[in-house]
Amino acid sequence: MPSHGPFVGGNQVILRGTGFTDDAQVTIGGRAVQPADHQLIDSRRLAVIVPAGDVGPADVEVQVGDETVVLEDGYVYDALYVDPSRGSIAGGTFVTITGSGTTFATGDSVVFGRMPCTNVTVVSETRITCRTPASSAGEVDVTVLRAADGHMDTAEDAFEYYDTSDPLNGGLGGGTISGSLNVTVVDWLSDAPLEGAFVIVGQDLDTPHQGLTNALGQITFSGPDLVGPLTVHVAKDCYQRTSVVAFDASDVTVFLRMWDPLTLPERCRADGEPPPPTGGRGRNLSFVEGDLIWRGPNEYGPNPWANIPEPREGWERVAYVYTTVREIGLANPDPAGGGAHQRVIEVLPDDGTQHLGYPYRILAYPRGMAVYALAGLQERRTGGRFIPYVMGVARSVLAGPGDTVSGVDIVMDIPLDHYVDVDLGVLPASTPVGPNRFRVQAFLDLGGEGLIRRQVGAQDFDTLRRYDAARDFRFVSQPALSGTIADGRYRITAGWFTGDADGEPFTYAVVNGVTAVDETVPMPDFLGVPMAVAPSVGQSLPADRILRWRAEGGPAPDLYWLLIFSEDGNLAWEMFVPGSVTEAPMPDLSTIPELFDVPDGAIYWQVRAASIPGFDFDELSYAQLSDRYWSHSARNTFIVQR
C-alpha cells in the first residue's frame, strides 16, 4: 500500500505478507528494487522505494531464499506525476503535472478532487502547470480533462492536502491565538510523540504557562492573557531545543532531533555505550545505450556530422552523452563507468554490427530520465577544450536497477546558436568578510525527468563565475526551446558568494520557468546578508540572552531560520523567526529539572534568511524548510562564546 503511484517511481510503498526477511528481493514490473531501498519493518511488513516503470499494471514479485511469490497486477503505474505532491488546505500551491504518453493541449482543464485548478498552462503534450484549489485535508485524485474529446487522465490520490495544525506535518496552524495554545512535540527521526518534553511560553520562568508533554507528546495552555504574537521554547535532555518566535497560531508542532549517538553524554545512553555503526546497502546502476543519429542522405546507416564545422589541425569532432540530474547538487554516476562508452567520435566501431548512427553506452541511476548528447569540436589533447555546436535529447527513458535499456537513439538536430543574458540588478551591501564573488547558473528544466546540466570535463557551460556584476552574464551555445525540448524551461540561479569555494556569507535568488532566449533575464532583488549584532563575532552571549542580527540591505525575507551548534558539532538549538523580526531569545533553562544549559565553549550561530512564494509564517510547515521551495536565500555563520 498504496497500490499505485507515478510512472517516474521514487515513492514508498509497504508490502504486507508473512515471512519477510532483511534479504528479501523485490521486483515490480520486472524491475528490481534497489537493495538500499528496502527497509524491513517486521516479518509482515516490508517498505520499498518503487523503481520507475511503464504506465499500467505491474506484477509484484518477492523472493525470500528459494521461495518466490508473485502478486499479479499488484501495482499500477499512473500516467500522471504531480510535483510537489503535497500542499496546504488553503490552496494556491504551484504544481507541475507530467504525463507519460499524454497529449495535453490548450483548453484542457485540471481537477483536484472535484475542484478545478486555476492558472492552468499547457506547456507541452506531456507537461501542464496550475495552482491548486482549496480543499479539506486528505488525498485527492488529480484529473486532466482533454477539451478536444473529453478524455480523462486520472491519477488516484496523487495529491495530499495537509492542515498545518496536523502534528504529522509540523509547524504552525489552527488560526489565531485566543486564550488557548496547543503544543505537540515529536521525535524527528521516528515521528513518535515525545513524552516529558519541557514547553514554556515566553522567557519568564515563573509563568504558569509551562509544563511537560504527556504520553501523546502534547500540552495545552489556557488563559485570557494568551493572545498573539507569542514565543514558545521546547526542550528535552539529549535533544536539540526549538523556539518559535513571534507567532500567532493556536497549534504548534515541533520536531526535536536527538544529538549524535557517538557524542551522547552518558546520561543519554541506555546501556552506557554508543550504538554500533550500521552498515550500508548498495545500489545497482543501469546502462542506457543507443545511437547518436545525424540526419542525411543515408536512411539506413550513419551520416556525416554535417552540422559541426570541419575540424582544423589538432581538433576532432566529438560527442558526449549524459543523463539529466534529479536536482542541482545531486551528482550522477560517472557515465563512462563500468566499461561504458560515453565519448563518441565520427568513426564507426568495427564490431560487425549495422548501425543507424554512432553507438554509445552510458552508466546511469535507475529512474525516469532524459538522455542527452553534446557534440562539437575538441582539441586532441588530454583535457582539451571542447566547443559545443549541437545537441540532442531522448525523452521519457525508464531504467530499473541492473537494467540495460537499449534502443535509446538520440537525434542530433538541436543547434546551439542562441544565448541567455542574466542581469543581477541592484545588489545589497557587502560586509567586511564578503560576499565577493558571483556565480550564475542556467539549467534546462525538463520537469519530472530532471535537469540538464551541460558539463564536459572541467568545462561547465551553464555556470559562470566573476568578481563583478557590472555587465550581464551571458550564457552562449544555448538551444531554442522547441522540438524535443519544447516544454523545457530555464532555471536561473544567481548567487553572490565568498571566496572561490562559494562559501559564506552568501545571498542568492532563483527564477524558474524562463522561456526567453536571445534576451535578458532580470533577477529579482537579493536578500541582505545577515550580520551579527549581539553577540558580535567572538563575544559571549549577552546578559539578556537575546540574539540580535541585522540584514545588510535588500528586501525583508519571509523567514529567518536560526541553527545553533555547540562545539562538539551537535545541533543545540533551532529557531523559527518571522522575516520582520531580527531578534530571538535563548533562555537559560538549566534551573528546570533534567535540563542543562548550552555547553561552555564556542557556539556556531547560523542565520538563514529565506523568501518563499505564498508563505505565511503563522502557517509554517517543516516541508517549507527545503530550499527547493525558496525563491531567495541568504546565510551567514558566526562563532561566539557561551
Q: Is the peptide bond before 435 cis (omega within 30 degrees of 0)?
A: yes
Query: Can you say whether residue 35 is alpha, beta or left, with left for phi > 0 and alpha for psi between -120 and 50 degrees?
Result: alpha
Q: How many helices (H) and strands (E) would you count in the chain?
A: 0, 51
Contact indicator for 487, 102 with CB cutoff of 8 Å: no
Distance (Å, rounded) from C-alpha 474 to C-alpha 396?
30
Distance (Å, rounded) from C-alpha 37 to C-alpha 58?
18
**Cell digits of residue 612:** 518563499
User: Which CATH number is correct for 4-78, 3.40.630.30, 3.90.320.10, 2.60.40.10, 3.40.50.11540?
Assistant: 2.60.40.10
Q: Which residues lie across from 221 on neighbouring strands?
A: 181
Look at residue 90 in the predicted model and tell me its pLDDT. 74
Average pLDDT, 10 consecutive residues per value, the chain (642 residues): 84 90 89 82 88 91 91 92 83 88 93 94 91 89 94 91 66 89 90 94 95 93 92 96 97 91 72 45 80 93 95 96 89 91 89 85 92 97 93 92 92 98 92 93 91 93 95 97 92 96 95 93 96 93 95 92 92 97 96 89 95 93 88 96 87
Contact indicator for 46, 21 with CB cutoff of 8 Å: no
Contact indicator for 124, 486 with CB cutoff of 8 Å: yes
What pTM does this model have? 0.80
Distance (Å, rounded) from C-alpha 213 to C-alpha 232?
13
Structural domain spans, the chain? 4-78, 80-162, 171-268, 286-415, 418-522, 529-641
Dihedral, CA of residue 212, residue 218, residue 222 and residue 225, to nearest 10: 80
Distance (Å, rounded) from C-alpha 421 to C-alpha 626?
28
Distance (Å, rounded) from C-alpha 316 to C-alpha 337?
23
Contact indicator for 344, 321 with CB cutoff of 8 Å: yes
Q: Which residues lie across from 579 on neighbouring strands?
A: none
Name the architecture of domain 529-641: Sandwich (2.60)
Class of domain 80-162: mainly beta
**3-class secondary-structure state, position 360:** strand
* Torsions phi, psi for 131 (to 5 deg): -115, 135
Distance (Å, rounded) from C-alpha 143 to C-alpha 145?
6
Do 171-268 and 4-78 fall under one CATH topology?
yes
**Cell digits of residue 300:** 539506413
Class of domain 171-268: mainly beta
First to last CA, the chain: 49
Look at residue 280 in the predicted model and tell me its pLDDT. 44
